[in-house]
Amino acid sequence: MAATKKRKLKLLAEMVNGDERTASEDGKGRLELQTWSDLPLELLELILSNLTFEDNVRASVVCKRWHKVAISVRVMNQSPWLMYIPKSGCLYEFYDPSERKIHSLELPELRGCRVCYTKQGWLLLYRRRNHLVFFFNPFTRETINLPSYELAYEIMAFSCAPTSTNCVVFSIKHVHPTVVAISTCHPGASEWTIVNHRNRLPFVSSIWDKPVFCSGLFYCLSLTGWLGVYDPGRRYWKVLAVPPPRCPENFFVKNWWKGKFMTEHNGDLLVVYTSQNKNPMIYKLYRSELAWKEMESLRGVTIFASFLSSLSGANLPGIMRNSVYFSKFRFFGKRCISYSFDDCRYYPRKQQYDWGEQPPFENIWIEPPRHALSSI
């Protein structure tokens, strides 16, 4: 028995080290020995490029050849940057939390504009003077215009980058206690489509709503925590019978609506509630049960929370996992305020932030391209 076990362990070690040999006969009947490291380069690249980040790292230690190929196809996610919107002028600052550095960029194209939303490195903007709605990429300076639209107090969001044929722009506002007007558009359209839908109270739409596109649907978290959902394909609106997430103590104080954020990650809808002197609370929507459930851990995910839109990511170099990064930094840009669910504390210490003190439209998280510094 002991000898058999040793043989199995030896065989397993040979497989891990890439020394397992497979026998194959050539056309002349000779027996050739091949190793896993002899896989054709194209096949090896295909296999390793489809692995998760963690499995890619594990595969890279098999042998020198696998290490080189794994590194070449490894996708390193980029941390979002916090874009600060100036009250005047055209100089915009971008804070990189992974490097703890601030980069500045002159963007005269945004003069007189209101930032509405961001996704995949694109900004959705509104210029009140001429009711112009347009997309703008601050890193490539590319602009994509939409038809004019008079925006009042309603919020806006979009599904994906405007360069995609699947891009849909979404806006919602209350026109009556039991009626909401939903406006949609897409790049290349000649006009907006505006349709009134019956609405069920207690959902009340306002500028404090949190819109998120997830799994083909626009979700909208209202001021009071009720969730509406819009299907752009069927043009169907519904308020879900999902009770709002349980709020932390002292949540309903002045400006409490500024301490609530929503995002999605890999199809999961996540809500962050914050309160002064209390640790943040995270909730995940369980659609099959029509319920929000509190999470004790983000399971390695990092949330980047800002008032206008929030982002999420995983395996981000220089970024704490299982954490929430807020849209505020301390010590002259040296440290972004964050909360770690692993350590159950804020960084820096004692930095619970009163969101009532912060103007809600002064910044927004944005995803930079891989080599963003070359465009600045």
Q: Could you read off the pLDDT tens digit of each residue along the chain, which spans 376 residues?
A: 445 444 544 543 454 454 444 444 444 444 455 676 678 888 888 888 777 666 777 788 888 888 888 877 766 678 999 999 998 889 999 999 998 889 999 999 999 999 999 999 999 999 989 999 999 999 999 999 999 999 887 899 999 999 999 999 999 998 888 999 999 999 999 999 999 999 988 888 888 899 999 999 999 999 889 999 999 999 999 999 999 988 766 555 555 567 889 999 999 999 998 877 778 899 999 999 999 999 999 999 999 999 999 999 998 888 999 999 998 876 665 678 899 999 999 888 766 655 656 677 889 999 998 766 666 6
Domain with CATH 2.40.128 in the chain: 111-235
CA–CA distance, 230 with 90 (Å, rounded to integer) = 36
Burial class (CB in 10 A: 0-12, 13-18, 19+), 268: middle
This model's pTM is above 0.85 = no
CA distance 271 to 304: 12
In CATH, what is the architecture of 111-235?
A: Beta Barrel (2.40)
Q: How far apart are CA 137 and CA 297, in angstroms?
A: 33
Gap between the Cα atoms of 127 and 272, Å rounded: 30
Q: Angle at Cα 172 formed by Cα 166 and Cα 175, nearest 5°?
A: 150
